[in-house]
């Protein structure tokens, strides 16, 4: 059962607040995209591209110097990308971000292209083999291709045009932004922001769960306050 389906089973007398950490925000984002109704939603260290929520251009990393389908002139291609996928969701979204999060820094490296990114030896997306290996088979984005045919996978038996956003985002599409959890500038459908550096989380991606309560007490108090829930003495 999906998260959205589960939330639909709850009594209307419930006040539903969501909290998700890291890639758990993909699950919650999907539920909101499907129309889930929540009062508040706290994104902790969210491993989701900021451009999913914010289409203003303020989070785009222009210095990365590679082409992505997120700003392609063909709307069908953009529909398979990250661009604005969660820009219209509602639910009192609060971004609990950590600018120096070590895991999200690794996400940034993995997002770089093996053919044009800043870390060409470490790039994982688009998912393709190096030049000269099985005719460079794998996924790719080709901006100059015909509309609706710009995202594809090259196989030893030929090519296949991508039609699924899930497959495209998972294998062929790069983000042109940092993650929400690393970029406190993210706006769009996100309405509130908390810099977790204030809680001395430093670079630790899961500090909320790894640190003792003496170190996390202020964080959890702030989280409850955002939800309008009184903390127990």
pTM of the predicted protein model: 0.88
Q: Nearest-5° angle of CA 195, CA 198, CA 204?
A: 80
Give the 3-state secondary structure of residue 80. Answer: coil
Q: Say if CB 82 and CB 52 are below 8 A apart.
A: yes
Q: What is the pLDDT of residues 148-201, one digit of tens each?
A: 999 998 877 778 999 999 999 988 899 999 999 999 999 999 999 999 999 999
- Is the dihedral angle over the CA atoms 26, 27, 29, 33 positive or is it negative? positive
- Name 222's Cβ contacts closer than 8 Å, sequence gap at least 6: 194, 199
pLDDT, one tens digit per residue, over 44-90 is 999 999 999 999 999 999 888 878 999 999 999 999 999 999 999 99
Q: How far is CA 85 from CA 21, 23, 79, 173, in A?
A: 19, 16, 8, 13
């Amino acid at each position: 059962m999906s998260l959205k389906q589960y939330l639909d089973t709850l009594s209307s007398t419930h006040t539903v607040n969501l909290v998700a950490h890291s890639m758990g925000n993909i699950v919650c984002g999907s539920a909101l995209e499907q129309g889930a109704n929540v009062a508040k939603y706290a994104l902790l260290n969210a491993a989701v591209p900021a451009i999913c929520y914010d289409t203003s251009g303020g989070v785009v990393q222009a210095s990365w110097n590679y082409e992505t389908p997120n700003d392609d002139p063909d709307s069908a291609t953009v529909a398979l990308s990250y661009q604005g996928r969660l820009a219209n969701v509602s639910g009192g979204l609060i971004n609990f971000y950590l600018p120096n999060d070590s895991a999200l820094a690794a996400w940034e490296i993995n997002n770089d292209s093996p053919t044009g990114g800043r870390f060409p030896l470490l790039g994982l997306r688009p998912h393709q083999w190096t030049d000269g290996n099985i005719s460079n088979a794998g996924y790719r984005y080709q901006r100059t291709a015909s509309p609706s045919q710009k995202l594809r996978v090259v196989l030893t038996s030929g090519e296949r045009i991508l039609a699924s956003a899930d497959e495209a985002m998972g294998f062929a599409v790069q983000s042109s932004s940092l993650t929400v959890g690393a970029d406190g500038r993210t706006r769009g459908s996100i309405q509130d922001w908390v810099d977790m550096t204030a809680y001395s989380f430093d670079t630790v991606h899961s500090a909320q769960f790894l640190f003792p309560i003496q170190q996390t007490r202020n964080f959890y108090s702030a989280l409850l306050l955002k939800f309008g829930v009184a903390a127990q003495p």
